[in-house]
A = this chain, B = another copy of it.
Amino acid sequence: MARATTLEQVAERAGVSRQTVSNAINAPEKLHPDTLRRVKRVIDELGYRPDSKARALRTRSSGLIGYCVAERQDGSINVFMDRYLRALTAEVERTGRHLLLFTAPDGEEGLAVYEDLLARSAVDGFVLSNTAVGDPRHAWLRDRGVPFASFGRIWTGEPQPGPWVDVDGASGTAQAVEHLVAQGHTRIGFLGLQKGNPVGDDRERGWRRACAEHGAHVDDRLIARATDEHRDRGEAAAALLDSDDPPTALVAANDAIALGAYAALEERGLRPGVDVALTGFDDSPTAAVVRPGLTSLRQPIEEIAARVVRLLDNPEDDRGELLRPELVVRASSVNDDGGRNG
């Protein structure tokens, strides 16, 4: 690998001092236009770029933002990983930095990895994701004055320890309910997560509120909960479908559970969208591909990435931002197919 051009080589060739070359790059307004032009030409000729490590050493900032890819496959963020990382990388680059990936165990144990990265001054800050209930990372970083921004709240009830962006789950399920009410449904079931799961509770709140607001039934017997957040064989939906007064529509807390409901419906000879309307949440890649297409709530991943990076640099700006997901209507929730069966 060829040795890269240095500042000194540029300086010599341009007949100026090293500092002038540095200024040409970092503070061009300080140079006489002629000098600037001459130096710039030499820079281009030689293809010179400041050595990132030397600059980092001197400026005490690595230009790297740490991002942890969960060590164990937990499934939930899975469906966004691709979109999110792509967007985050692009956003971070817009400010001339890069994303540094690392792995760490969940919980307290993982803090050692963050500490290591910090002790080596390998990163300037962190973007947090896969936030868990009572996640210790946020407070830990805040206490050390480390810049960070989080996709996801810590859900402890206490004030958030730092800037965050999250998706408004209640708004999402409320949109789904409104959509179903507009189709004439008044008995809309909710396929939730385990009670106490803050994401599930949030999404349940939206279902409850919207049902009340729009005159649909609100009744705890319209709620069933999935045992496994990431894989459901349809048990939750089955419970509601086999009840005395089954709902005519189902709002699921996520796509995995909605997909489980497909199985439960099929077993009972019912068709999603025709016999029972169904909506999911997350707009996973699968939602667009199954038959019939699953109506779902698309998380504004690209916007989340943009805001997270902005909050990282301007932590005072806005401490928290709640973004509305967007309802993507497919055949699973509309009686009339209307060509939307994608």
Residues of A within 8 A of B (CB): 1-2, 4-5, 47-54, 56-57, 62, 64, 67, 69-71, 73, 78-79, 81-83, 85-86, 89-90, 93, 98-103, 115-116, 118-122, 144-147, 256, 259, 262-263, 266, 284-286, 289-291
Interface of A is mostly: mixed
Taking a contact as CB atoms under 8 Å apart, the answer to whether A101 and B85 are in contact is yes
Top 5 closest pairs, chain A to chain B, by CB: A49-B119, A81-B82, A286-B286, A99-B101, A52-B120
> How long is the Cα–Cα vector from A167 to B93 in the complex, in angstroms?
32
**20 A–B contact pairs at CB < 8 A?**
A1-B118, A1-B144, A4-B120, A5-B119, A47-B119, A52-B122, A57-B57, A69-B86, A73-B82, A73-B83, A81-B81, A81-B85, A93-B103, A98-B101, A98-B122, A99-B101, A100-B101, A259-B289, A284-B285, A286-B289
Q: For A51, what are the chain B residues with a Cβ–Cβ distance below 8 Å?
A: 57, 120-121
Q: For A64, what are the chain B residues with a Cβ–Cβ distance below 8 Å?
A: 100
Nearest residue (CB) in B for A90 is: B103
> How long is the Cα–Cα vector from A176 to B48 in the complex, in angstroms?
53
Taking a contact as CB atoms under 8 Å apart, the answer to whether B86 and A93 are in contact is no
> A57-B54, A100-B100, A262-B291 in contact; A49/B116 too (CB < 8 A)?
yes
Q: For A47, what are the chain B residues with a Cβ–Cβ distance below 8 Å?
A: 115, 119
